[in-house]
Structure 1
Amino acid sequence: MHRPIDTTSWHLSDWLSFYEKLHPVGIDMGLDRTAKVWQTLRQRHHIERIATQCIITVAGTNGKGSTCQMLADCFAGQLNQVGKYTSPHITVFNERIQINNNPVSDQLIIEQFQRIESARGDITLSYFEATTLAALLVFFFEQVECAILEVGLGGRLDAVNIIDADAVIITSIGVDHAEYLGENVVGIALEKAGVCRPNRPLVFAQTDIYPELIEYTQKQAIPLKANGIDYQITNQITNQITNQITNQTLNQAVHLPNKSYPIPANLAELGAKQIDNAAAVITLLDWIGYLPEDYTDALAQFALAGRLQKIAQAPDIIIDVAHNADAANNLRRIIAQHRHRYSQCYAVIGMLADKDHAQVFAALDGCFDRVFLGDTPGTRGLSAKALAAIAAPYLTCPMASYTDLTAALAAAKAMATPDDVIYAFGSFTVASALMGHPDACPNSSSP
C-alpha cells in the first residue's frame, strides 16, 4: 500500500534521488505505468493538450537533441512560449526542461514532482518516466504554445509516446541500445516510427529510407516526406576571389516541389548530419505552416552544448557526445574536414560499458596522433584500462590511460601546442566532466 512521504522540505536533488531508486529497473520499456499516472493527472488537472498550438516529437538514433534545438530556434521568433524536453543533461538536470531556450527553475520542477507523487498511488515510475511526466506538466501549467519532445530510447514504448504528437521528425537510424532495440536497423526504424500517428506528418531526415518503413506509413495512413525522395539537398560550390586568393563556399539548399530554401553555410562546418537535420526541420515547418521568413537567421545561430563544442583555444579543445558507430563515422568526417587547420590531432575518450566500443574505434582508426583514455564514473562506467584493451586492435596510434577524464584532458593539453586540436568524446559523461574544465571558455562555439 502506498504510504505518503513527507517531501515538504525536499530539494530538487532529493526528488531526483528518490526517482532514481523508486522503480526496481532503471530502464523498463513500456507505457502502462506512465500512461496510468498521466491519465490520473489529466483528469485531476483537466489537461486536454500540453501545448496550445503544436506538439512535435523527435525520434532517431543520433541528432535528436540538435533537431530539437533547431526547431526551438525557428519557433522562438513566432511564439511567446516554446517548450523543449530533451535528455540526458550535461551539467544540471534543468537543462532537460526548457522554455524559450532557458532551463526552468528547481521550484517549478518540484511542484510537478509533488503532483506526480500525489497521483501515482502504488505505481512505481522510473527516473525517465517521472521526469517526462514532470516536463509535460511544466508545459501544460506554463501554457506553452509549442512543445518539442525528444524520445529517450526507441519510440513505441518510450514514455514520451503517451503524447499524441501533431508531427514527427525521425533523424537517423543506427544501432544503439541493442539490448533493448536489437541490431536490425529496419526493426529499429519501425520501433521509432511508433511515435507517429495517422494523418499527422512525418519527416524522415536520413537518406535511403527503408522500404519497410514506407510500407508501414502507408498502412498506418501516416503522411511521409523522406530525404532524397520527397525533398532533396543540393550542394553548389562558389568561388570568390579576394586579393588574388580564391575562397570556396559550399552553398546548400533544400528543394521541395515548386520551392527551395537555402541552408545557412555555417552548418556545413558541423557536417552532413546537421545538414540533414536542418533540412528536415525546414521541410516539416514548411509543411505545417510554421517556417519563419527569417529561418536562416534562426538556424545560423545554432549551437548546442556537447555537439562539436569548442571550449578552449590554442590548442582547440572540442567536445562531442558521439558514443556509437554512426556518430563516430560522422565525427571522423568532421575531423578529416578540419584536419588541415592543425599540426597534431589528439583525442580524449571515455565510454560507458554498454556501448559498442569496437565499432566506434574501428570508425576512428587513423584520425589521431595520440589518444588519452579516462575512466568514466557511475554504475555504467568503464575503466580506461578496459577501454584501452578494446581499442588496441583498432587504433594504431599511441594510447595512455588515466583514472579520470580531467586527468586525461590535462595530459593531452600538456602535450599539445597552440597549433594542435584535442577532441574529447565518447559519451555525455565526457561532456559533463569536461565542461567545467578550468580552460573552458565561458562563450564556447563550434569549430
Structure 2
Amino acid sequence: MRYTRLEDWLSWQEGLNPKTIDLGLKRTMQVWRRLASAGLVSGAVISIAGTNGKGSTVALFEAILKQAGCRTGSYTSPHLLRYNERIRLDGEPVPDQVIVDAFQAIDDARGDIPLTYFEFGTLAALHIFAREKPDVVLLEVGLGGRLDAVNIIDADLAIITSIDIDHQEWLGSDRETIGREKAGIFRQGKPAVFSGRDMPASVADHAAKLQVPLYLNGRDYHYEKIGESWCWRGSDRVVSGLPFPNLRGGHQLDNASGVIMALELLTGNIPVNKAAIEAGLKAINLAGRQQIMEKQGVQWVLDVAHNPHAVAALKNRLQDTPVPGRTLAVLGMLKDKDVVAVLDLMRNQIDKWHFATIDDSRGLSAESLAAMAGKMPSVLMMENHANVKQAVDAAAAEAKSGDRVVVFGSFFTVGEALPMLVV
C-alpha cells in the first residue's frame, strides 16, 4: 500500500496533477473502466448540479430517504471539517480506512494517469458505493456538469438547483452558457428537475435535444406557504401540512419542493410517503448554511455563501432578522470569486469588517479584500488579519451582547471558524 494514513494520501494527490482544476472525463472514465467495480453502481442514481443549493438538496434527499427506510450513498464537495464528509453512507461519513482502501484500488488501476484530487475522490466514492450497494446514489457535481468527473455515471434523474454567475473562467460569463454546461448532466430520455427560478433557455434547449422530460418549479409543480406550514402540488398529488425544512432561508423551499418532485418521478423504485417527507424535513441538519449559534449574548451566523447569488440570500436573511446591536463580519474569500459584487451586496449590512487571509494557494489576502472594500462608499470600519482564527478572535473580543457576527465567503472560512465556536 502506498500510504496507510488518509492525510498522507490527500497530500500526495494534491501534487499528482499539476492542475488543481482540470476539467474533462477521459482520465476518470479510463480508470473507472479498469476498476473491478466499474459499472456496478446499483440502485437509483441522482445527479445534482447548480450554482447554489446542491449541498442542501443532497442533505434533504438523505434525510427524507432515511425516514423512508432507503439506504443512501452521497458524494459532495467541498468539506467543512473532515474529508470524510464528502463520502457518506446513510448520511454518515465513511471511516478513514474505507477511503484509504478505495484510494489504493484506484492507484493500482490508474497506471500513469495523473488524476486530480477531485477525480481521486470521485472514483473513491463510486468504488465504495459499488461495494456497499445503497438504494439511492446521490452525486453532487463539483464544477459545472458536462465535464465534471461525476458525469461519467449515467444518472436516472438529474436536478439543477439554480444557475447564476460563478466559476466564469471554466463555465462562461453568462447564465445561458453556464446553463448549457450544467445541463450536460442530462441523459437521453431520463427525467430532470429544475428547482430554481428563472431557468435559462439553454437548459430547455438541451433537454429538448435529448428528449428529456423536464419539470420546472412553478410550472410543473408548485408550493405555497400556508401559515406555519406549506403545501406541495404536482400534477397528480398534493402534499399539504408540511413542516418547513430545518434549514434557514426562503430558498430552501425551492430545494425541498424540487426533491419532492424528484421522488415523485422515481416513486416506482423509491416509495416515499408523507410521513417520511415530514420527518425528513424536521430532521435535516446541515452545518454552514445560515447556521446560527449564540455565545455570551452574541449571535454568530455562519454561511458558506461565496458568490453573489448565495450572498444575496444571506443579505435577505440579515435584513429580515435584525439585532439590537451592531453587525460585524468575518470575511475570507478565494481569488476566483466576484469579491466586488459580494462586498457591494453586504456593505450596508455590516458595521465593522474583519478581513481574513485564507491559507490556501487560491486564497485572497486580507489586504486585497481591504483594498477592494476601501474603494466603496460606506465601508469605513475594517481590520486585516493573517488568518481566519485571528479574525474570529478579534470579532469575538469586540462583539458585545446584542451584537451579531457573520462569518462567510468560503467553505475554508466557515470550516476554520466552526470548531472555534462549538467548544
Task: Determine which of 121, 126, 136 is the counterpart of 1:131.
Answer: 121
Q: Give the equivalent residue in structure 2 for 1:14.
A: 8
Contact 1:81 1:100 survives alignment (8 Å): yes
Shift of 1:293: 2.5
Deviation string 1:198-247 (CA, Å, 9 cap, x unpaired) is 121111011222233222211211111001211122234x4xxxxxxxxx
Sort the Cα spacing of 1:268 and 1:14 in 2 relative to 1 into closer, same or farther, 3 A: closer
Counterpart CA distance in 2 for 1:292 and 1:357 is: 43
Give yes or no for the alignment of 1:261 onto 2:239: yes
Helix, strand or coil for the counterpart of 1:49? coil
Report the residue type matching 1:119 in the other structure: A
Task: Determine which of 337, 344, 351 is the counterpart of 1:355.
Answer: 337
Structure 1 regions of 5+ residues with no counterpart? 1-5, 239-248, 442-447
Give yes or no for the alignment of 1:316 onto 2:299: yes
Counterpart CA distance in 2 for 1:262 and 1:355 is: 40
Helix, strand or coil for the counterpart of 2:15? helix
Contact 2:247 2:289 survives alignment (8 Å): no
Give yes or no for the alignment of 1:175 onto 2:169: no
Report the residue type matching 2:292 in the other structure: K
Counterpart CA distance in 2 for 1:263 and 1:50 is: 36
Counterpart CA distance in 2 for 1:49 and 1:363 is: 46
Counterpart CA distance in 1 for 2:377 and 2:221 is: 39
Correspondence 1:267-278 to 2 at 5 A: 267=245, 270-278=248-256
Give yes or no for the alignment of 1:85 onto 2:75: yes
Shift of 1:344: 1.9
Task: Determine which of 408, 428, 431 is the counterpart of 2:411.
Answer: 428
Structure 2 regions of 5+ residues with no counterpart? none
Q: Give the equivalent residue in structure 2 for 1:337.
A: 320
Q: Give the equivalent residue in structure 2 for 1:96.
A: 86
Shift of 1:302: 2.0
Helix, strand or coil for the counterpart of 2:159? strand
Shift of 1:333: 0.6
Shift of 1:80: 4.9
Counterpart CA distance in 2 for 1:163 and 1:126 is: 18
Indicate the RMSD between aligned Cα atoms, in angstroms: 1.7
Moved more, 64-73 or 269-278: 269-278
Shift of 1:169: 0.9
Counterpart CA distance in 2 for 1:81 and 1:205 is: 24
Shift of 1:274: 1.1
Report the residue type matching 1:143 in the other structure: K
Helix, strand or coil for the counterpart of 1:346? strand
Sort the Cα spacing of 1:188 and 1:395 in 2 relative to 1 into closer, same or farther, 3 A: same
Give yes or no for the alignment of 1:186 onto 2:169: no
* TM-score, normalised by the number of residues in structure 2: 0.94
Deviation string 1:270-308 (CA, Å, 9 cap, x unpaired) is 222211101100111122113332202201222212111
Q: Give the equivalent residue in structure 2 for 1:50.
A: 41
Helix, strand or coil for the counterpart of 1:155? coil
Counterpart CA distance in 2 for 1:331 and 1:49 is: 41
Counterpart CA distance in 2 for 1:186 and 1:172 is: 12
Correspondence 1:23-422 to 2 at 5 A: 23-41=17-35, 44-45=36-37, 47-51=38-42, 53-236=43-226, 238=227, 249=228, 251-262=229-240, 264-267=242-245, 270-289=248-267, 290=270, 291-294=272-275, 295-313=277-295, 314-339=297-322, 341-394=323-376, 396-397=378-379, 398-422=381-405
Moved more, 189-198 or 398-407: 398-407
Shift of 1:329: 0.6
Counterpart CA distance in 2 for 1:269 and 1:71 is: 13
Shift of 1:163: 0.4
Helix, strand or coil for the counterpart of 1:424? strand
Helix, strand or coil for the counterpart of 2:251? helix
Shift of 1:264: 4.5
Shift of 1:266: 3.9
Contact 1:424 1:430 survives alignment (8 Å): yes
Contact 1:362 1:395 survives alignment (8 Å): no
Shift of 1:364: 1.3
Sort the Cα spacing of 1:269 and 1:27 in 2 relative to 1 into closer, same or farther, 3 A: closer
* TM-score, normalised by the number of residues in structure 1: 0.89
Report the residue type matching 1:15 in the other structure: W
Counterpart CA distance in 1 for 2:39 and 2:324 is: 55
